[in-house]
Amino acid sequence: EPEVTQTPSHQVTQMGQEVILRCVPISNHLYFYWYRQILGQKVEFLVSFYNNEISEKSEIFDDQFSVERPDGSNFTLKIRSTKLEDSAMYFCASSEVGGGADTQYFGPGTRLTVL
Amino acid sequence: AQRVTQPEKLLSVFKGAPVELKCNYSYSGSPELFWYVQYSRQRLQLLLRHISRESIKGFTADLNKGETSFHLKKPFAQEEDSAMYYCALTPSGAGSYQLTFGKGTKLSVIP
């Protein structure tokens, strides 16, 4: 069964550094998402992406964040200048079509630790 | 703005006992509701959604619009049900596909 994959599984970085988190969505899916979960808190939506552009973003997704689909398979989340509070588990998800009834399939997550 | 509340952080039940994981939501429109599950060392995966009206692994959930609830139930808990359960909501027909999650309830089934 196809799955969403994410790399790396764990990323440690220094405050102020740029990080890129990578995701490979399921191949025939058209909608892509990033969520994050700070330790002990709820999973929070960051951004959704369709047809090579952002379709929706939360207030968390400020100018420090960007997303890109650099080729036909990868979907990346870039944090330009990491802060301590960016430490979290970052989940990528994809869905075949949009719509509230569609299933979002999640990757295993990347744990980002900012020192 | 939408909100999902799961009042129990941890729920412990004995094997064979009934389980009810509570979920309440706040949304002015008509939402789509989901239960996601995360087993130990595994990814978040969809358990069920209200629009399908299905039973998965013996779990059911009924949307109660009057009480704005979507509680998850199972008549007889199994040890393999031990996991983290998240209730989630997405607006219906609003052009928004983001999932809003509750904080999750950890279900522990005691043998």
Residue with tokens 């870039």: A78
Residues B33-48 have a mean pLDDT of 93
- Are A99 and B97 an interchain contact pair (Cβ–Cβ within 8 Å)? yes
Q: Which two tokens stand for residue B101?
A: 């999650």
The confidence band for A101, taking pLDDT boundaries of 50, 70 and 90, is: low
Query: Would you say residue A16 has pLDDT above 90?
Result: yes
Query: Would you say residue A33 has pLDDT above 90?
Result: yes
Contact with chain B for residue A94, Cβ under 8 A:
no
Give contacts of A99 with chain B, Cβ < 8 Å: 97
Contact with chain B for residue A65, Cβ under 8 A:
no
Residues B60-69 have a mean pLDDT of 91
- Are B99 and A104 an interchain contact pair (Cβ–Cβ within 8 Å)? yes
Average pLDDT, chain B: 92
The confidence band for B94, taking pLDDT boundaries of 50, 70 and 90, is: low
Contact with chain B for residue A38, Cβ under 8 A:
no
Residue with tokens 């399921």: A26
Interface list for chain B against chain A, based on CB atoms closer than 8 Å: 31-32, 36, 42-46, 49, 51, 86, 90-93, 96-104
Q: Which residue has the higher pLDDT, A65 or A102?
A: A65
What is the Cα–Cα distance from A19 to A11, expressed in whole angstroms?
8
Residue type, B95: G
pLDDT in the model for residue A100: 63
pLDDT in the model for residue A99: 66
- A23 and A9 Cβ atoms separated by less than 8 Å: no
pLDDT in the model for residue B62: 87
pLDDT in the model for residue B91: 85
What is the Cα–Cα distance from A25 to A31, expressed in whole angstroms?
9
Burial bucket for residue A6 (CB in 10 Å: 0-12, 13-18, 19+)? buried
The confidence band for A34, taking pLDDT boundaries of 50, 70 and 90, is: very high
Contact with chain B for residue A103, Cβ under 8 A:
yes
Task: Identify which of A56, A99, A103 has the shortest CB distance to residue B98.
Answer: A56
The alpha carbon of residue B4 is apart from the nearest alpha carbon of chain A, in Å, by 10
